[in-house]
Chains A and B, each alone.
Chain A
Amino acid sequence: MSSYDLNQAPLRDLNRALHALRPDTNETHWTINGPDGRHAIAVGLDAPISVEIEGNVGYYCAGMNKLASVVINGNAGVGVAENMMSGFVHVRGDVSQSAGATAHGGLLVVDGNAGARCGISMKGIDIVVKGSIGHMSAFMAQAGTLTVLGDAGEALGDSLYEARLYVRGSVKSLGADCIEKEMRDEHREQLYAKLQAAGLAGEVNPSEFRRYGSARRLYHFNVDNAGAY
């Protein structure tokens, strides 16, 4: 087990050491102390290692993650797990705006609440938020799933493409071209799988959720839709 204290050594050295790990490395578990809200901690990881961060982190923690499992024992700033490709990011506290932005894959689990634009432009990631999410979440979301155990803020799923949104609580309002859709068995199965991946199997009932998706009315330019944008 490797341990690193950001109060003692520079962030660049930590990230460089993590990048240098080979896929078959024996240094598979890292503990990072003293994050103190620093930005860009554990970004660009590309090995199946596990990283645990003891405290609050700033912007873009675990950005562009591949393969690695990153646990943040604290809150996270803007863009946690942005553009993640694969792997697992778990935030024990709350997260700020643009969590999981543009991410292509992997799983992001937030134990607390997420701010605005959660899952903006998401491209395949699965996001599970145990609390509530802020306004404009899943804006232009292209693929993947966003599961929210609490409530969603204004303009959920504005200009949505093919991402699927599951919300258990209330939705303040839906954005342009986002509509509620029928929960069929395939969706309950998908939702169950995501809840299971987030460690919530048996604790949360998939049939309590509503599903939201794209009405696909804005997929092609049409003058009669001008007022919808």
Chain B
Amino acid sequence: MAETPKDPTAKDPTFKDARPLPRTKPRFSATFTPDVMSEIRRAAATGIYDIRGAGAKRKLPHFDDLLFLGASISRYPLEGYRERCGTEVVLGARFASKPIHLKTPITIAGMSFGSLSAQAKEALGRGATLAGTSTTTGDGGMTQEERGHSQTLVYQYLPSRYGMNPDDLRKADAIEIVIGQGAKPGGGGMLLGQKITERVAGMRCLPPGVDQRSACRHPDWTGPDDLEIKIEELREITDGEKPIYVKVGASRPYYDTALAAKSGADVVVLDGMQGGTAATQDVFIEHVGIPILAAIRPAVQALQDLGLHRKVQLIVSGGIRSGADVAKALALGADAVAIGTAALIALGDNDPRWEADYQALGTTAGAYDDWHEGKDPAGITTQDPELAKRLDPVLAGRRLANYLAVMTLEAQTIARACGKSHLHNLEPEDLVALTIEAAAMAQVPMAGTGWIPGKTGF
């Protein structure tokens, strides 16, 4: 019989455990997180909202929450590398006499000279041209570098009209009327004084060094009826040659897409809240607009209801990173995608090779988002000639072309696995969702079920 250990305190009421008292671990609040508290302290010290670059950083329902159903017995796949899987896309054939033909449905989103260095803009043009796709100007007009290095260039027509002139309009391959962008639907642009160099100021007709606030609304039209007339004017100026895109930030995608199409757009560009910006209030980036995953189906529905799906092309953007994202966006009904942040990363943005410099700025490679300050160690989001020299436009353009090629190959790999001979043959039926949120937003069933929240019964 084993001896039972006796409770030492049973007989001795003065017994004290020699070990220190157990303590609870320090516990951070889920509401007042360290990030939240640091922002409160920053706001209290400065009295001004936080301005930064890039897009929404919070975790959002995204393409990662979708999976493809590869072919098996019920449908057959295409042979990788041997059977053709088309990737070309035509943009603007609805009304324009000279539509755009791209080899890949991955385009480069609008980013301005001013927010980016001349070298970075050149690199985007070189990379896109190698890959057979288009680049897009931004607020501040078209530079010679950009026109020279981009085979296909989309000229943005923005509320500020900085640098807008009819000669560049005629030089462009397409015109993109910007109503808004995903990072800030309802907001105008911002370029702080540090980046308003003489050249940037000259292009924008502003005094050097001022904090430039771009208008949030167009100065000479309001509403869809006026937009139709504005589109008519741009077509008249360019003899009906150029495709006209209308870009909106994702917020009410069904109505915005329907109104853009009704106004006579050839192409609708829809940018989700993960889409980047050169400089915007953090509160705007994180709290206004909706993720691209939630925006594509309503936009496609609007075009289908008008009988215009595939006639008016839909370009979607905001957090596109890989060929899988491209394939998923196209399967949901988009005709093409645009990348901005991902393209900058391919050029060299936030590269760990500059870690010491990022540390000196109080951040770390991968988290750097103070693009408005113009101190980018990678030489991309800057107007400082010394920093800008760090980016070799030829090598950076090559990296972008490689990245675009990889994404295109990845999307083809998925499409062939689903038995599709063109990326545009991907369809929602090829997709399932991993989360209830993604199932509801993308309107595809939860994996392993037939359940689409809001569409089918319980």
A and B held together in a complex: yes
* Interface, chain A (partner B; CB < 8 A): 11-12, 15-16, 19, 39-40, 43-44, 46, 58-60, 63-64, 66, 78-79, 82-83, 85, 97-98, 101-102, 104, 117, 120-121, 123-124, 139-140, 142-143, 159, 161-162, 219-223
Residues of B within 8 A of A63 (CB): 233, 237
Q: Interface on chain B toward A: helix, strand, loop, or mixed SS?
A: loop
Q: Are B219 and A101 in contact (CB-based, < 8 A)? A: yes
Q: A59-B221, A120-B220, A123-B161 are in contact. List 9 more A-B contacts (CB 8 A).
A: A16-B239, A63-B237, A102-B219, A140-B215, A142-B204, A143-B205, A219-B210, A220-B210, A221-B211
> What is the size, in residues, of chain B's interface with A at 8 Å between Cβ atoms?
34
Are A142's CB and B205's CB within 8 A?
yes
A146 shortest CB reach to chain B, Å: 14
By a CB distance below 8 angstroms, the chain B residues around A44 are 166, 169-170, 236-238
Interface contact B219-A220, CB-CB below 8 Å: no
Contact of A102 among B48, B161, B211, B229 (CB under 8 A): B161
Inter-subunit contact A79/B221 (CB<8 Å) = yes
With beta carbons under 8 angstroms apart, the residue of B192, B220, B237 that contacts A43 is B237
Verify B233–A123 contact, CB threshold 8 A.
no
B87 sits at the interface (CB 8 A) = no
Q: Contact check, B205 vs A124: say whether CB atoms are below 8 A apart.
A: yes
Q: Is A162 touching B166 in the complex (CB atoms < 8 A)?
A: no
B230 CB-CB contact with A under 8 Å: yes
Beta-carbon contact of B239 and A223 below 8 Å: no
Q: Which of B47, B169, B170, B229 contacts A40 (CB 8 A)?
A: B229
Task: Flag if A82 contacts B220 (CB, 8 Å).
Answer: yes
Which B residues, 217 to 239, have Cβ-Cβ distances below 8 Å to chain A?
219-221, 226, 229-230, 232-233, 236-239
Residues of B within 8 A of A140 (CB): 215, 219
A123 touches B226 (CB 8 A): no
At the interface, yes or no: B99 with Cβ under 8 Å from chain A?
no
A11 and B46 alpha carbons, distance in the complex (Å):
56
Asked if residues B205 and A12 are in contact (CB atoms below 8 Å), the reply is no
For B46, the chain A residues whose CB sits under 8 A away are: 223
Q: How far is the CA of A15 from the CA of B236 in the complex (A)?
A: 7
From residue A137, how far is it (CB to closest CB) to chain B in Å? 12
Given contacts A12-B236, A124-B205, contact A104 B220 (CB under 8 A): no
Indicate whether A142 sits within 8 Å of B206 (C-beta atoms), given known contacts A40-B229, A101-B220: yes
Q: With A121-B215, A143-B205, A161-B206 as known contacts, state yes or no: A85 contacts B193, CB within 8 Å.
A: no
Once bound together, how far apart are the Cα atoms of A64 and B161, in whole Å? 12
Bound complex: CA A16 to CA B238 (Å): 9
CA distance A150 to B204 in the complex (A): 31
B240 at the interface (CB under 8 A from A): yes
Q: Lowest 10 A-B CB distances belong to which pairs?
A: A44-B237, A223-B47, A79-B220, A102-B161, A98-B220, A64-B166, A40-B233, A123-B205, A40-B236, A101-B220
B211:A219 contact, CB within 8 angstroms: yes
Q: Are A43 and B221 in contact (CB under 8 A)?
A: no
CB distance from A80 to the nearest CB of B (A): 10
Q: Kindly list chain B residues whose C-beta atoms are within 8 Å of the C-beta of A97.
A: 220
The residue on A at minimum CB distance from B165 is: A85
Of A11, A19, A102, the contact of B220 (CB 8 Å cutoff): A102
Partner of B219, one of A85, A121, A162, A221: A121
| Chain A positions within 8 Å of B352 at CB level | none
Cα(A1)–Cα(B46), bound, Å: 66
Is residue B366 within 8 Å, beta carbon to beta carbon, of the partner chain?
no
User: A-side binding surface: helix, strand, loop or mixed?
Assistant: loop
Q: Find residues 185-219 in chain B having any chain A CB closer than 8 Å to their own CB.
A: 192-193, 204-207, 210-211, 213, 215, 219
Q: Does B435 contact A (CB under 8 A)?
A: no
Q: How far is the CB of A85 from chain B (nearest CB, A)?
A: 6
> In angstroms, how far is the closest chain B Cβ from the Cβ of A113?
18
B322 proximal to A (CB < 8 A): no
Kindly state whether residue B164 has any CB partner on chain A within 8 Å: yes
List 16 contacting pairs A-B, 8 Å CB cutoff, sorted by A: A15-B239, A19-B239, A39-B229, A40-B229, A40-B236, A40-B237, A43-B236, A43-B237, A59-B229, A59-B230, A59-B233, A82-B219, A104-B165, A121-B215, A140-B215, A222-B48
B160 at the interface (CB under 8 A from A): yes
Most chain A beta-carbon contacts within 10 A, residue among B160, B165, B233, B237 = B233
A221 adjacent to B48 (CB under 8 Å): yes
Return the chain B residue nearest A78 by Cβ. B220
Query: Do A60 and B206 contact each other (CB < 8 Å), given the known contacts A44-B166, A117-B219?
Result: no
A120 and B47 CA atoms in complex are apart in Å by 31
Cβ of A16: which chain B residues have Cβ within 8 Å of it? 239
| Chain B residue at minimum C-beta to C-beta distance from A124 | B205
Of all chain A residues, the one with the shortest Cβ separation from B205 is: A123
Interface contact A43-B233, CB-CB below 8 Å = yes
CB distance from B48 to the nearest CB of A (A): 5
CA distance A66 to B169 in the complex (A): 13
Residue from B47, B165, B219, B239 with most neighbouring chain A CB atoms (10 Å): B219
**Binary interface encoding of chain B residues 155-170 relative to chain A, with 1 for a CB under 8 A from any of its CBs, else 0:** 0000011001111011
- Give Cα A44–Cα B204 distance, bound, in whole angstroms: 21
A53 CB to nearest B CB, Å: 14
Residues of B within 8 A of A79 (CB): 220-221
**Chain A residue at smallest Cβ distance from B51:** A221
The complex places the Cα of A42 from the Cα of B3 at a distance, in Å, of 108
Q: What is the CA–CA distance of A104 and B205 in the complex, to the nearest angstrom?
A: 9
Contact string against A for B residues 133-165, beta-carbon threshold 8 Å, 1 for contact and 0 otherwise: 000000000000000000000000000110011
Rounded to whole angstroms, the CA-CA distance of A102 and B239 in the bound complex is: 22
Contact A40 B211 (CB under 8 A): no
Complex interface bits, B171-194 against A, C-beta within 8 A gives 1, otherwise 0:
000000000000000000000110
| Contact A83 B239, beta carbon cutoff 8 Å | no
Cα distance A85–B165 in the bound complex, in angstroms: 7
